[in-house]
Each structure stands twice: as structure tokens, then as C-alpha cells.
């Protein structure tokens, strides 16, 4: 098996480093050790993990591990394994809502941990083998703002994507208000690789099929005539090379 990138969410530093040592001896890579929601989401943005280990009880965090798992899955679907001392039914029932790949009770054997991680990752990958590919599909199901489920969008109906710090704003045909997703533009852009989607700048990805009018430093999209998108004029020449421009013939 390939070396997996693994994120550890654990606020007992001794236990966290014991787990890290075990995983590295098993040939895997620990991307970070974190202990609250904000540091977790930062770690995921910096180095997306293949799998995440989560302790449920986190004394240094207002949210417990299950709450953090909900935040993770709403933005970055990733297999998770709970490592916990809780075996009570109410806790297990809450954990089930996040569909964990495994639920391991402490104390656990080191060799068992490595085996469970590798099995969890293999089963997670296998479960998607026959599913729709979000990279190739004409539609996507993106997480809704309250974290409860997913909403469908057609890629061709996307006017443009705009980076706003840790969020991506998505502007759609026929919608006056943007949609916001807690992920960065680099991550979102990987699902919009068709030739009609063009990086106008580092913070803008535009659907050229909806371009109605262009000027130096401004671009107007269908249905948003009075709201031009501004971009660096230095990118203008590169932009018009992507469009079927008919130029005025030179006078002789």
C-alpha cells in the first residue's frame, strides 16, 4: 500500500506522539497533530489528508471530535476513524451520523491501529470505484451551508467562482445571490477543468460560455450586465486569445 497522509486530532500530546510514531513505523506520513476545529480546518487546507484520526473527547476545544467531523465532512469528504474511550450508546449513535470508517476503543494495540487505517482507506476507495466521478460529471452535489446534505449544481450554469479568503463564492445563472463554500479556490477548481472554465486571475475562475462583453480590466457575464467583474489589465491579452475575436481589418 502507498504511504498514506494522516491527520491526527488529539489533545493529549503524549498519546498523539505515540500514534504518530506508530504510523510512521508502519510507513505512513502524519501531516499534523491538532486539537480543535480551527487548527483542523487549517491543517486540511494546507495538506489534504488521505484519512483522519479523531479523538472524541477534546478538553481544549469547545467542540468534541464528532462535531469537528461534521465540519470536515461538509467541506472535504474524507474517511475518518474515531479513537476514543467512549463506548456508551448515545455517543456511538452520534458518531454513526458521520459514517466513520472505524471506531476504535482505547487502549488499542499499535499493530491493530495500522491495520484498521489501511483497511479503512482501502474500503473507502473501493466504495467510490463505481460511483460518479465529480471530475468528469456534468453536475456536482456540493455541501449546503448548514452541513445537512448536498445540493445539486450544473457546471454549465456556473457563471464564475471567486476566492474570498477561506471560502469560494459561486455565482450561478438566474441567481442574484452568490453561494458560499468553505473551501479554497484551488480545491474547487479541480472539478471545473472543461475548456470553457478559464482562470482570469488567481482569485477568479470564469465560465467563458457566459461572457457577453469584455473591455480592458472588465468582463461582463450573461444576466449580470451592470455588474462587471474586474481583473488585472495585464491579463487582457491572454484572455482574448481564449475567445473567437473578429478584428477590424487594417486599412491599406
Structure confidence by residue, pLDDT tens digits, 154-170: 999 999 999 988 789 99
Evaluate the omega torsion of the peptide bond into residue 28 and state whether it is cis, within 30 degrees of 0: no
Domains of the chain: 5-129 (3.40.50.2300), 139-242 (2.40.50.1020)
Q: Name the DSSP class of 155.
A: G
pTM for the model: 0.55
Closest CA to 61 of 82, 35, 84, 41: 35
CA distance 216 to 105: 61
State the pLDDT at residue 176.
85
Q: How confident is the model at residue 133 (pLDDT cuts 50, 70, 90)?
A: low
Q: How confident is the model at residue 1 (pLDDT cuts 50, 70, 90)?
A: low
Q: What is the pLDDT of residues 18-56, one digit of tens each?
A: 999 999 999 999 999 999 999 998 998 889 899 999 999
Instruction: Give the 3-state secondary structure of residue 142.
Output: strand
211 touches 203 (CB < 8 A): no
CA distance 228 to 217: 9
Please check the confidence at residue 244 and state whether its pLDDT lies above 90. Answer: no
Q: Name the DSSP class of 127.
A: H
C-alpha cell at 114: 495500522
State the pLDDT at residue 15.
92
Q: How confident is the model at residue 129 (pLDDT cuts 50, 70, 90)?
A: low
Q: What is the pLDDT of residues 58-67, one digit of tens each?
A: 988 899 999 9
Average pLDDT, the chain: 87
What are the DSSP E strand ranges found in the chain?
5-9, 29-34, 51-55, 80-84, 102-105, 139-143, 150-154, 158-164, 167-172, 179-181, 197-201, 204-207, 211-215, 218-221, 229-230
Amino acid at each position: 500500500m502507498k504511504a498514506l497522509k494522516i491527520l491526527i486530532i488529539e489533545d493529549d500530546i503524549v498519546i498523539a506522539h505515540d500514534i504518530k510514531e506508530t504510523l510512521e513505523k508502519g510507513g505512513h506520513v502524519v501531516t499534523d497533530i491538532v486539537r480543535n476545529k480551527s487548527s483542523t480546518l487549517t491543517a486540511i487546507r494546507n495538506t489534504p489528508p488521505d484519512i483522519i484520526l479523531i479523538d472524541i473527547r477534546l478538553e481544549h476545544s469547545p467542540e468534541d471530535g464528532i462535531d469537528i467531523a461534521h465540519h470536515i465532512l461538509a467541506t472535504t469528504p474524507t474517511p475518518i476513524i474515531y479513537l476514543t474511550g467512549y463506548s456508551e450508546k448515545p455517543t456511538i449513535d452520534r458518531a454513526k451520523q458521520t459514517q466513520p470508517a472505524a471506531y476504535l476503543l482505547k487502549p488499542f494495540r499499535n499493530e491493530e491501529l495500522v491495520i484498521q487505517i489501511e483497511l479503512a482507506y482501502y474500503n473507502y476507495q473501493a466504495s467510490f470505484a463505481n460511483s460518479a466521478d465529480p471530475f468528469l460529471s456534468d453536475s456536482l452535489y456540493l455541501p449546503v451551508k448548514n452541513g445537512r446534505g448536498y445540493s445539486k449544481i450544473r457546471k454549465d450554469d456556473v457563471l464564475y467562482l471567486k476566492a474570498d479568503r477561506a471560502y469560494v463564492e459561486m455565482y450561478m445563472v438566474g441567481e442574484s445571490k452568490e453561494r458560499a463554500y468553505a473551501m479554497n479556490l484551488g480545491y474547487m477548481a479541480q472539478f471545473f477543468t472543461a475548456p470553457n472554465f478559464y482562470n482570469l486571475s488567481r482569485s477568479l475562475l470564469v465560465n467563458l460560455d457566459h461572457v457577453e462583453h469584455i473591455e480592458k480590466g472588465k468582463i461582463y457575464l450573461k444576466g449580470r450586465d451592470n455588474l462587471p467583474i474586474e481583473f488585472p489589465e495585464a491579463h487582457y491579452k491572454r484572455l482574448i486569445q481564449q475567445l473567437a475575436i473578429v478584428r477590424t481589418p487594417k486599412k491599406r
